[in-house]
Amino acid sequence: MDIRHWTYADFPAFDEPVPGAKRIATTGGEIGVTYHPNVPYATDGNVTLHLQILTPQTRNQTDRDTYPCMVHVQGSAWMKQDTYALIPMLSRIAERGFVVAIVEYRHSGIASFPAQIQDARNAVRFMRANAARYHVDVDNLFLSGCSSGGEVALLAAVAQTGGRPDMDDPSLSLVPDAADVSAATRGVLDYYGAVNGQMDDGFPSTTDHHLATSPEGMLMGHIDIRDRPDLRAAMTVETYVTPELDLPPVMIFHGTKDRLVNARQSVSLYHRLRDAGKTAELYLLEDADHGGAEFWTDDMCRVATEFMRRNCVR
C-alpha cells in the first residue's frame, strides 16, 4: 500500500477474508459526541463565564451539517455551579442529534438577580453567533435548565418579550456586535425548576427559608425577603405569565418526592401557563427526588428531544 495522504473515499477497505471474524455493517450516520471544554462566552469585569459544549459527530458529517441546539442552565441554588456534573447525562441528548451548551452564570455570591438571566440570554447569543463552529442550526435553539437553572431558563424566555429590560444585557457578551444577535429560542425545557419564590412551602428542606442566608434571599440581594413580596414576585415565573405574553412552548419535568423544590411549584406554573393559553406539558416522575437518573433515561431523553423536534422550524 502506498504511503500518502489518503482521502476517505480513496482509501481501500480491508476486504480479505479472516476465518472466525465477524463483519459488522456501518452506515456512517452513527452519532458520537465531541466535548469542547470551558469555552469563554461572556465577561463582566474580572469574571469570565464559560460554556461546556457537546456537539454530535458522525463519519458522514460535512461542514454544512447543522443540528438543533439545547442551551442548558445548570442548577446550583443560584450559587457557584458545577457545570461538569450533568455532562454524562446531557451527552445522551447530544447523541440524539443536538448540540448542547451548558451555561455557567454569575452566581449569587458575586451578582444578584437578574444577572443570571442576562447570562443565559448571552449564552444563546454566543451559540447563534458561533453557529458554524459548533454546527448549530441558528433557527432552532432551545433553552433548558434544572432546579435554579429551570427558573433562569424560563425567565430568559420571558425576557425575550421585553417586559423587564434589566433581564437582558447583550453588552456583556464576548461576541462581536452581540447586541445585534438574537437570543430568541423555540421552546423551554424546565427540569424540576425553582420557579416560585412566593410559596411558603416551596423549598421543603431550606431551614432558613426566605432569610438573607437562604438561596432565594441571596439571589435577591442577600436580604430577608419575607416582607418583600415585590422581590418574591420578581423571581417567580408565574408573575410574568399573561395571555399577552409571547412565550414559546414549555415542557416541565418534576419528581413527586422532590425534597428540595416542592413539585407544587411546577404544578402551579403548569396551570398558570395553560390558563393563559400557552403550550405547556407536565411530566411528573413518580417517586423521583430532586434530579437523578430517572430524568435521563432513554424514554425521558426521547420525550425531551421529540418536544424540541416538534417545535423546530423547518
Query: At 247, is the pLDDT very low, low, confident or very high (cuts 50, 70, 90)?
Result: very high
Q: Which domains does the chain have, with CATH numbers?
A: 32-310 (3.40.50.1820)
Backbone φ and ψ for 171, nearest 5 degrees, come out as -65, -15
Give yes or no for residue 149 having a pLDDT over 80. Answer: yes
**Other CB atoms within 10 A of residue 290 CB:** 21
- Cell 445585534 sits on residue: 180
C-alpha cell at 262: 416542592
C-alpha cell at 109: 455570591
Strand 67-73, strand 136-146: pairing: parallel
Check residue 45 and give its pLDDT: 85
Angstrom distance (rounded) from CA 193 to CA 250: 12
Check residue 173 and give its pLDDT: 78
Angstrom distance (rounded) from CA 250 to CA 241: 12
Comparing 38-47, 75-84, 162-171, the range with the smallest average pLDDT is 162-171
Comparing 12-16, 177-181, 243-247, 266-270, the range with the smallest average pLDDT is 177-181
Give yes or no for residue 1 having a pLDDT over 80. Answer: no
Give yes or no for residue 160 having a pLDDT over 80. Answer: yes
Sequential DSSP letters for 40-105: EEEEETTEEEEEEEEEEE-TT--TT--EEEEEEE--STTSS--TTTTHHHHHHHHTTT-EEEEEP-
pTM of the model: 0.95
Angstrom distance (rounded) from CA 193 to CA 266: 7
Give yes or no for residue 128 having a pLDDT over 80. Answer: yes
Check residue 241 and give its pLDDT: 97
Query: At 44, is the pLDDT very low, low, confident or very high (cuts 50, 70, 90)?
Result: confident
Mean of per-residue pLDDT scores for the chain:
95
Give yes or no for residue 165 having a pLDDT over 90. Answer: no
Give yes or no for residue 177 having a pLDDT over 70. Answer: no
